[in-house]
Chains A and B, each alone.
Chain A
């Protein structure tokens, strides 16, 4: 199979899996066969899929270890929440769907701007240094969010920094976070956002720019020597990743009545990184599946009560160890090859 055919197949399979999962979920919901617990997780799952796929763009495809991805999510979440609240006061005739979509776009924009600001100094660094600095930026974002206040007085938005005294009703109250958020996130929009993310990432990866990004990852010096603008392509991957994370954040924020910046700490960034690593660096479908499974897993393990997190950790370790087991990999590869072999025969016959 040619390279082109293979990437096309991978893209098609990923879309097919996501769309099939969405249809199955819809059918189950229509027929009231889905438990409330699972139904409540659909939107956060969509958010974390987008988070994982977008981080995969930075870590897997661009090869830069970023530990501050949750920071972008929080910027998206809180800018989206504030915009949605203001829109509701200023333009009450707007539908919830319109407000949600505008909030998502706004979240992506703000997060993208932060991505540019952070990317300029950060992407000069490599390897461990880059990881540490992104981690620091994630923390800086969280600390700044603890000092910001927004309130609504009628349809006027007030903002202040480090001064928790504002007229009207607080929309975002520093360390206490966003409060009294009207939940407008829907699963359908979440699904659309996942599709959008896949579309953007696959298009980028399979484009000329995507090949340049991967070339820089594989050998920076060689890439530079053939005239690839390293900074430009690294920035491209980093900022797109930030924009997508911001969009996911806005959807996430509008799914809860209250949300604090403390939710988006280092642990949250590491959690998304775990999704990406377990799903396979560079594998988009892997990110989608691992984000879904790993988000649902702790909830499925609730019946084990106090052993829940222990079992979760053991499963993570098992997946990691077995995933790297040469014998198992050999088996998987052989199966894959024999399948491909059959395909080839099929090709000839046709």
Chain B
């Protein structure tokens, strides 16, 4: 009798454990949690936890968030991180955070049939030729296009200049589509100047070229560190065009030692402003500040939306925690590319094309008194 009882108890325990394991659909992200791009990865990892907790509290789809894996922004390490997650039974990936890593992991995930929704990897190759890869952010080429459209639609300027980094793919990609789209919309590109990470210039040549050509607007498809130097140089030579940046400009206000008055009036294309009074955004920002004592950036907002999109998709496609990752992948691909599927998140109302790129309205913010103001 005792033996039987023990057996029953043991069985109950294993069953109990099994149900505990199958508690939620296993999701995770991979990103730079250490190294020079750590801020991006940490924002995504934190927002992922916040959003998953909210989704679980709603009582519908349940997520089990696996520990975010560090790749230091390195594609080869990202593959190791991905393998480690697969060992832990990953069922869908909300990542990876940076583009190079996402391309490398994407190739593995495409072969394995794992569904990936990246919050922030914007390179065009992330989604190219892979039906399992989807983006929350604009692709680089779409950012260039969207910027030109925004400038033309709102009549910000007719003579534009571009300063870009010709040693990084991100900057080149945005610049190429911006210039092409600008030509079509009748914007005149009067000057173009380049730099690269390695020659770390003071931008006197570039800024003076813009000034001489009489550019009314200078488009900066670059990261915020060089942009800060450009702004400083422009102020020194009393040149005050409209400066227009893209998502890489996000973070300029929190940069250490940066005089925020320099950025006054700078516009940037970003889907997210932490100062927004929109209730969902405000609630998210408040919660993020409370938990992590930091203001979330657009990477966090993208990740927050990504989790809700995944939850929505799982509900629509009837995905359960018992499904295998490859079965989930096929279901989610069908669900996300369905014509009537869209998700209205804090970074905009999104729809996806079959090529994995997102379609949403571009938004721009202007920096006023050291803070983002949605236009």
| A contact set with B: CB distance below 8 Å | 35-37, 39-41, 44, 143, 146, 164, 173-177, 179-180, 183, 252, 256-260, 263, 299, 302-303, 305-306, 308-309
Contact = CB atoms under 8 A, between A and B. Distances in A.
B86 A36 contact: yes
Interface string B84-113: 101100000000000010011011100000
B143 to A, nearest CB: 16
Nearest to A147: B167
Contact of A258 (B68, B107, B198): B107
B169 A175 contact: yes
Contacts of A164: 172
B274 to A, nearest CB: 24
Contact of A37 (B74, B75, B84, B103): B84
Given A37-B83, A37-B84, A164-B172, A143 B198 contact: yes
Contacts of B259: none
Interface residues of B, number: 30
Interface string B40-73: 0000000000000000000000000001111000
Contacts of B167: 146, 174-175
Given A36-B86, A257-B104, A260-B100, A305 B75 contact: no
Nearest to A47: B76
Contacts of B103: 179, 257-258
Contact of B80 (A40, A173, A179): A40
Nearest to A295: B80
Contacts of A37: 80, 83-84, 86-87
B86 A175 contact: no
A263 B84 contact: no
B79 A40 contact: yes
B76 A256 contact: yes
A35 B84 CA distance: 8
B33 interface: yes
A290 B34 CA distance: 23
A306 B100 contact: no
Nearest to B38: A306
3 closest cross-chain pairs (CB), A and B: A257-B107, A176-B169, A40-B83
Nearest to B112: A36
Max chain A C-beta neighbours (<10 A), residue from B87, B106, B123 = B87
B353 interface: no
Contacts of A146: 167, 196
A151 B83 CA distance: 31
Nearest to B168: A175
A143 B84 CA distance: 33
B76 A263 contact: yes
20 contacts: A35-B87, A37-B80, A37-B83, A40-B80, A146-B167, A164-B172, A174-B167, A175-B168, A175-B169, A180-B125, A256-B76, A256-B79, A257-B103, A257-B107, A263-B75, A302-B81, A305-B70, A306-B33, A306-B34, A308-B70
A176 B86 CA distance: 27
B20 to A, nearest CB: 19
Interface string B178-206: 00000000000000000010100000000
B256 to A, nearest CB: 21
A306 B33 CA distance: 7
A257 B202 CA distance: 36
Contacts of B172: 164, 175
